[in-house]
Structure 1
Amino acid sequence: MSAMQFPIGAVECFNKKRRAFMWSGQEKTTGAQCLIAWDRVCQSKENGGLGIKQLGMQNQCLLLKLIHRLFHPGDSSLAAWAREQVSLTTLEGDVDGDHWTALRSLLPVYQSITTVQIGNGRSTAFWEDNWLDDCALNVSYPALFTHVYRPGASVHDVLEHGLRHFLVPRLSTVASNELAALEALLTNITLTNDEDERVCPLAAPNGQLKSAPLYKLAMQNEGEPCNFFEFVWHNRAPPRIQFFAWLLVHGRIQCKTNLLTKHVVDNDVCDICHSSAETPDHIISQCPFAASFWERIGFSAHNMPQVAELWTVSLPAHILRQHSDTFLLLCCWQLWKHRHDVVFRHMDPSLPRLLRSCRDEAMLWRCRLPIHDRGVVDNWCVMFQM
């Protein structure tokens, strides 16, 4: 992934395998088994996803490291050879192939995340690099840039031959005004014999560019920050239950309304109350059996929020606030497992059995809490006693 750009078809083949493994544990999967769209899955946890790596984006971030190596060759003989074959301002030269085409397409991205302290100006693109103002000159002087016939010229070439040498003969009024302003700034620029110094804020102190901060920055724009991040991920529940919670707040746990949409079942009637549609909200709080469970441990069943906002529930006074999110997930998980027993094991609904399973599960989770907080579990177990 760090040597070449993956073809789109190859990325899709890899994603098919990853989707199948995630949703079914098999080599292949069906749409009915995929509970949430893959694009959503690949978003960061902060933005509502699972943080699964998006291969195409990760591939590009790794290739950006190669471009960074060209500008910071160090002891790399490959980088030294490449610098002799191509112009660093455009990556054009005596090289060809899909590899270089991919690097050229990513060069604007690299230029946007770096700034340059000018030395001799030979490796700095006059228009695309951030070297004079807070942003690239093609952004600061857009009208003038439309009159440029050689946009890949270096700072050295422009200052040596003059800016007008790289412009078409006739300029618009706006472009002429921008030209005058830019020429005034260039009078203060003096080149030296030193190499240009390119700085990237995402690079490590030793100058190496890591792909992780690049990927995180790139994925920030994928989706919007979600309001359930803390509830789902910042708790002491096991990873399996956190995954369940993630599906729950999206309304995508396996329930009959979702299965009916996928033509897996013939109806969506709840198998416990036999009176309402089995939705995620019905399973967790609206079913009379679920309501009796919440009432038994001190909650007001009528005031239970929807699963998409479960963390906003008003906690009874007798429930400790410490690790309350973990407590809520424990209850929701056992409610869902109890329904599983009723549907697939043909067991009768039983509130005592549900409370007992909650108490047993709480004791298993006890070791997941910090030692000084494990007394919280004793508070939970008191509520689960009949």
Structure 2
Amino acid sequence: MTGKGGRSLKSPWVSISKTWLKVEILATFKLGNGSRIAFWLDTWEGHSPFNILFSSLFRITTLPNGSVADHWDNNIASWSITFRRSLKDEEVSAFQDLLRKIVSRSPSLSFDKRVWSISNNSQYTVKSLKNHLTPFSPLEKPIFSTIWKTKSPRRVNILIWIMLFGQLNVAEVLQKKQPTPSLSPTVCPFCLHHSEVSLHLFFTCPYSSWCWNKLLCFFNLPLTLCNDFKSNVFQLLARPTSHKSTRLLWCNAVKALLADLWFERNQRIFYNKATSCQDRLEAARRQASSWCLLSDPFRAYSLSDFNLNWEAFISTPPNGQH
């Protein structure tokens, strides 16, 4: 069965099943009576199931799907593992290794349990799974607060969040999702020269670079860009300043400029409307000012005063806040 563009409708379930395999191995078994644990197929001793560790033995066992309880003889209180034929020399060695692994283990009267191996208390939490599956996480508390706990609009916060996860729909990302000849080649709508990738669009294009340099001059902050888009966004949002109110103004200015550069990109592509980098920076400053006025340190000031005295607010924060 295929869907639009000839893509298989089964693909979401394939992705889910692949992810589930990564999750399942994290939930190991704690042996109880052994009735609900597969001796060969489940991970109940060590970090891998026995059908993988001892594949040569698994191929000739008489109970490939048998439980741990099926392989335990209560009459003699010992393991009872049977095979379809006599073992060869190399299989004898593997069998001895298997017995050494389980010699100190035996079923009990309690129930079998699943244990979450990546948690200190063996209990499953969504956070532990997310941290394990996501190598890059912008959820560190300062960055999380910068994105979600300032007064910028939710649509802007969501946009920044998508940026940090590298899912913004620039041509580079769209081609990876579903390659389409009509999108290739796609050039940067600012300079009309370089291909449209996130790093160039937001940072290294002369249009964007001019905006960032001017913004950094306002705050007297240096910036050393790297060759990774997400790292640059992360660096900007985490950049420390000496005063609490100045940090608020800086974070809002960064988010406003990122959002306005994306807005400018869309205006040029979809409406053939272009704005100079000077006007785009001023629009971002006005946006940042209006968001700051919603926060306590700036409530006593008007928008016109704020826009006319940016440098004063940066150099002398309101109420002397630190």
How high is the TM-score relative to the length of structure 2? 0.56
- Find the aligned partners of 1:269 and 1:184 in 2 and give their Cα distance: 63
Q: How far does residue 382 in structure 1 lie from its aligned partner after superposition?
A: 0.7
User: For residue 310 of structure 2, what is the aligned residue in structure 1?
Assistant: 382
Sequence identity, in percent? 17
Q: How far does residue 167 in structure 1 lie from its aligned partner after superposition?
A: 0.8
Change (3 A) 1:134 1:356: closer
User: For residue 214 of structure 2, what is the aligned residue in structure 1?
Assistant: 296
Alignment root-mean-square deviation, CA: 5.7
Q: How far does residue 165 in structure 1 lie from its aligned partner after superposition?
A: 6.3
Would you say the 8 A contact 1:144–1:176 is kept in 2? no
- Find the aligned partners of 1:112 and 1:285 in 2 and give their Cα distance: 40
Q: How far does residue 304 in structure 1 lie from its aligned partner after superposition?
A: 5.2
User: For residue 263 of structure 1, what is the aligned residue in structure 2?
Assistant: 182
Question: Structure 2: which 5+ runs fail to align?
Answer: 314-322
Would you say the 8 A contact 2:28–2:116 is kept in 1? yes
**Match among 188, 202, 219 for residue 284 of structure 1:** 202
Would you say the 8 A contact 2:264–2:274 is kept in 1? no
Deviation by residue 1:186-211 (Cα, 9 ceiling, x = unmatched): 6766666x354323338xxxx9989x
Q: How far does residue 292 in structure 1 lie from its aligned partner after superposition?
A: 4.0
- Find the aligned partners of 2:144 and 2:113 in 1 and give their Cα distance: 38
User: For residue 280 of structure 2, what is the aligned residue in structure 1?
Assistant: 354
Change (3 A) 1:180 1:339: closer
Change (3 A) 1:328 1:132: closer
- 2:85 is the alignment partner of 1:174: no
- Find the aligned partners of 2:299 and 2:272 in 1 and give their Cα distance: 35
Matches within 5 A, 1:236-255: 236=147, 238-245=153-160, 246-247=162-163, 250=166, 253-254=169-170
One-letter amino acid of the structure 1 residue matched with residue 88 of structure 2 = S
- Find the aligned partners of 1:373 and 1:176 in 2 and give their Cα distance: 78
Change (3 A) 1:110 1:307: closer
- Find the aligned partners of 2:242 and 2:171 in 1 and give their Cα distance: 32
User: For residue 225 of structure 1, what is the aligned residue in structure 2?
Assistant: 135
**Match among 139, 146, 151 for residue 235 of structure 1:** 146
Q: How far does residue 331 in structure 1 lie from its aligned partner after superposition?
A: 1.2
Matches within 5 A, 1:141-180: 141-160=54-73, 166-180=82-96
Change (3 A) 1:172 1:58: same
* More displaced 10-residue stretch of structure 1: 336-345 or 324-333: 336-345
One-letter amino acid of the structure 2 residue matched with residue 225 of structure 1 = P
How high is the TM-score relative to the length of structure 1? 0.49
- 2:257 is the alignment partner of 1:331: yes
Q: How far does residue 334 in structure 1 lie from its aligned partner after superposition?
A: 1.7
Change (3 A) 1:191 1:350: closer
Q: How far does residue 115 in structure 1 lie from its aligned partner after superposition?
A: 1.5
One-letter amino acid of the structure 1 residue matched with residue 116 of structure 2 = P
Q: How far does residue 176 in structure 1 lie from its aligned partner after superposition?
A: 1.2
One-letter amino acid of the structure 2 residue matched with residue 169 of structure 1 = R
Change (3 A) 1:216 1:248: closer
Change (3 A) 1:366 1:171: same
Change (3 A) 1:225 1:381: farther
One-letter amino acid of the structure 2 residue matched with residue 197 of structure 1 = D
- Find the aligned partners of 1:250 and 1:293 in 2 and give their Cα distance: 22
User: For residue 365 of structure 1, what is the aligned residue in structure 2?
Assistant: 291
Change (3 A) 1:143 1:361: same
One-letter amino acid of the structure 2 residue matched with residue 115 of structure 1 = F
- Find the aligned partners of 1:379 and 1:298 in 2 and give their Cα distance: 17
Question: Structure 1: which 5+ runs fail to align?
Answer: 1-8, 17-29, 32-41, 43-53, 65-105
